[in-house]
Amino acid sequence: MNAEKRLEIFRRLSLAIPEPTTELVHTSTFELLIAVILSAQATDKGVNLATAKLFPRANTPQAILALGVEGLESHIKTIGLYRSKAKNVIATCQMLVDDYAGQVPDKREDLERLPGVGRKTANVMLNTAFGQPTIAVDTHLFRLGNRTKLAPGKTPLEVEIKLMKAVPREYLMDAHHLLILHGRYICVARKPKCGVCVIADLCEYKAKEFV
């Protein structure tokens, strides 16, 4: 895919999605971190329902630590893998208090030290909270990278590396959210809505059926 086509793809996506941002509801960097940890293998909608009850009760590392694992589980039990996520969140909060004065660090190596935080979550935080041009490859971005041929790869890391090279510089900050929202609502997994897709003529995927 040539540079001209890549530029046009992101120009159209930016027009179709004028406010590309996370759909996880949060009012602080710490709330965003917890929401992203909880969102692994879960929907943003499901996480928002849980955090709407959790955050008014506890939205600092100290307050969540005071809940304890069982107390936290009671707030997030509607989310998949809630037991392991509760343990990770408690451990993360303890590390934030012990090592970072209760603040969420803004460096990749520090973020990835936190329990429950891998490369994808670190990329989300660096981009959304700290304004760095990173791309977090989730299932949507992995699918789009391969389906459109924008950044084909066999692993999320391979797709990420290719996207970082393929995305025009002026769209790097917004690329993650442009692609995730396009994948969530238009370029869906089972039946991509090619008939209403703003980049259908630029995409190298040939759908068998428009919906």
* pLDDT for the residue numbered 41: 86
Q: What is the per-residue pLDDT across 34-61, written as a single tens digit (0 to 9) for each?
A: 999 999 889 999 999 999 999 999 999 9
* pLDDT for the residue numbered 210: 40
Q: Which amino acid is at 61?
A: P
Q: What is the per-residue pLDDT across 8-37, written as a single tens digit (0 to 9) for each?
A: 999 999 999 999 999 999 999 999 999 999
Return d(Cα 173, Cα 36) in angstroms, integer: 18
Return d(Cα 36, Cα 85) in angstroms, integer: 11
* pLDDT for the residue numbered 206: 62
Q: What is the per-residue pLDDT across 86-119, written as a single tens digit (0 to 9) for each?
A: 999 999 999 999 999 999 999 999 999 999 999 9
Tell me how far CA of residue 74 lies from CA of 58, 68, 83, 89, in angstroms: 13, 10, 10, 13
Return d(Cα 175, Cα 135) in angstroms, integer: 7
Mean pLDDT calculated for residue range 163-176: 95
Return d(Cα 51, Cα 156) in angstroms, integer: 27
Q: Which residues are catalytic?
A: 120, 138
pTM of the model: 0.89
Q: Could you give the domains of the chain?
A: 3-20+134-196 (1.10.1670.10), 29-129 (1.10.340.30)
Split at pLDDT 50, 70, 90, the class of 211 is very low
Return d(Cα 146, Cα 205) in angstroms, integer: 9
CA 199 to chain CA centroid, nearest Å: 22
Res 64 pLDDT > 50: yes
